[in-house]
Structure 1
Amino acid sequence: MSAAPRVSPTQLFTPDEWAPFQTRSTWRGPLLVAHAWGVIAAAMAVGVVWPILIPLCVMVIGTRQLGLAILMHEAAHGALAKNLKLNDFLGHWLCAVPIGADLGDYRPYHLNHHRYAQNAEDPDLVLSAPFPVTPASLRRKIIRDLTGQTFFKQRVLFAFRAYASKRDEDTAEGAVVTGKSVAPFLIVNALMLLGLTLAGVWWAYFALWLLPLATWFPLVTRLRNIAEHACVEGSATDPFRAARTTRASWWERMLIAPYWVNFHAEHHLFMHVPCWKLADLHRAVRSKPQGERMEVAGGYLEVLRTASGKAG
């Protein structure tokens, strides 16, 4: 098996330069979890009071559902809380289970992705290998996401083992992140439905939780996957090019890329650095000569042009 190449912090930084990136916070991770749920609750309230804004609320909530997956990812690296029991509790019950994931299943899967990034043994290679694709193919993928077809494949078809053996870009990470925690997912979602029913707005569960989960969440998850690894030349052999970092504007952070997920090249270089330090790590790495080798896109539209063969 071919493990992905690695770089040591000592190859880039002095001990004093590296020290700020080694610390864990007691409160930042839990506050991010609270922030994600706070944004979801606020967007649901806005949609209930002003139904005309439901399309925007669906996008905001779907992005925070991705945010929960990102914070589960932090927990998989032990970076969500200093206390590992709290780290795993928050990462599993407040981040993973509500979107149908399982931290215990995700952690070994994801660590194998880091170990073999962009090599043949990488379990996520199927997400990036097909790209670039034609614009028509990319449109079909986006339509599948926004019409709930991807959600159906991950939630229903993946339950059948015969289909699970035919994994594609719709059912690779999605199958592990959103397809293996059925009973806890159903229980938590039933409690959400019950709570909203008791509040007199039962329909909000379907319009402002399930609809985002079935449409916008799969779309932004796909955009995240494309941006992170697709069409990065030398990604299997150069640790500085194992992934792509995408500069994100305020609206992209709100509707596509929450919680610094766009700094993926830095995450692959030093995977134990917490997500809230990745922007500082980006500046630190880019200040070094080796950092010039990193793949940095100007935004998600630029990434989509590259992924659909329109770059140039």
Structure 2
Amino acid sequence: MPAAARVDPKAYFSPTEWATLARRSRWKGLALLAHAWGVIFAAAAMAVIWPLTLPLAVMIIGGRQLGLSILMHDAAHGALHPNPRINDLAGEWLTGGGLARYRAYHLGHHKYAQQDEDPDIGLSAPFPITRTSLRRKMLRDLTGRTFFKQRFGDLVRRLKDRAPGQPVLPILVEEVRRKRRWLLGGVVITLVGGAFGVWWAWPVFWVLPQATWFPVITRLRNIAEHACIARGEPDPLRQARTTHAGWLARAVLAPYWVNYHCEHHMFMHLPCYNLPRAHRLLAGKGVLDAMLHEPGGYRTVLARATSRPETPAATAAAAG
């Protein structure tokens, strides 16, 4: 199948407008990274001082973990910094790692958006689903089952499939090698936290949000971006959805303008901080009505994505 249709910026913006939108700042992307880490440390400090605020801290930190993923996503498009070397170093070492692997995967998603070859098509294909099905999925997210499957499912499979008599140690060594940056981060956080008497900082303030709130909001973000969009959709203005996000949604669900997803797919190399301006310009030119966008926010998108009637067959499928 041919690649998804692309959008020509000249069809919507003047040369001056496009030059302003496409300009990559030398400091804004790095400032957003500093902001994400600053919020994470502030939320952790809040929970240390007032332990009863831990659930709130988990939500805040999980939201900024998603924010770091979004900034790595910008780096995958070369939009985090105008210097390619700084862009890649920051995207690899200051966001959680995995940039090169993610870039190859994600650019395939853009090339074949909503087509059969889209590596993310499986995330949007099942929708709409039932409310029961979504509740079950979110329960798996909140209880860490999704995290465990994604993080350690391959290890479990390799241990189960090993030949009789095959030693376990080489498999475990390979797993440590694969996760070395994640584990190195744990060592660093533990050492720094230990200096301040909070040696348990990594499992509580990093792994716990990563295993609970982060999967939930990642699922909700994926639903908002591509659920209930026709498979094989030919219109590049309707292959992704922009969703209105108020201040609370931006704080815990949609950081760093990730909700402007239609604009991102239309102009995938724009830095995230320029997407709101692109949205306003397109609205002023009357283009917004042709785009896929949801002014009602995430609640409205979720209502549409869970509009499948509850039936015995659907309930049984959700249970499976």
Q: Same fold (TM over 0.5)?
A: yes
Alpha-carbon distance in 2 for matches of 1:15, 1:207: 49
Aligned residue number for residue 164 of structure 2: none
Q: State the shift of 1:284 in Å.
A: 1.3
Alpha-carbon distance in 2 for matches of 1:114, 1:193: 38
Structure 1 range deviating more: 232-241 or 222-231: 232-241
1:180/1:92 CA distance change after superposition, 3 Å: farther
Aligned residue number for residue 130 of structure 1: 126
Aligned residue number for residue 166 of structure 1: none
The one-character-per-residue Cα deviations of 1:273-305 (angstroms, maximum 9, x if unpaired) are 100010010111223344312121221111111
Alpha-carbon distance in 2 for matches of 1:210, 1:285: 40
Q: State the shift of 1:2 in Å.
A: 2.5
Aligned residue number for residue 28 of structure 1: 28
Q: How does the TM-score come out when normalised to structure 1?
A: 0.89
Matched, 1:299 2:297: yes
The one-character-per-residue Cα deviations of 1:121-140 (angstroms, maximum 9, x if unpaired) are 00011111111101100001
Alpha-carbon distance in 1 for matches of 2:240, 2:178: 28
Correspondence for 1:223 among 211, 220, 225: 220
1:252/1:197 CA distance change after superposition, 3 Å: same
Runs of 4+ in 1 over 6 A off after TM superposition: none
Correspondence for 1:248 among 245, 248, 251: 245
Residues 124 and 229, structure 2, Cα contact 8 Å, conserved in 1: no
Written as runs of structure 1 = structure 2, the 5 A alignment for 1:24-103 is 24-97=24-97, 102-103=98-99
Alpha-carbon distance in 1 for matches of 2:213, 2:224: 16
Structure 2 unaligned runs (5+)?
A: 160-175, 310-320
1:235/1:18 CA distance change after superposition, 3 Å: farther
After superposition, the CA RMSD in angstroms is 1.9
Larger Rg: 2
Question: Number of paired residues?
Answer: 292
Aligned residue number for residue 257 of structure 1: 254
Aligned residues with identical type, % of pairs: 54
Higher RCO (C-alpha 8 Å, min separation 6): 2
Q: State the shift of 1:66 in Å.
A: 0.4
Alpha-carbon distance in 2 for matches of 1:220, 1:4: 27
Aligned residue number for residue 171 of structure 1: none
SS in 1 for 2:127: coil
Written as runs of structure 1 = structure 2, the 5 A alignment for 1:163-242 is 181-233=178-230, 236-242=233-239
Structure 1 unaligned runs (5+)?
A: 164-178
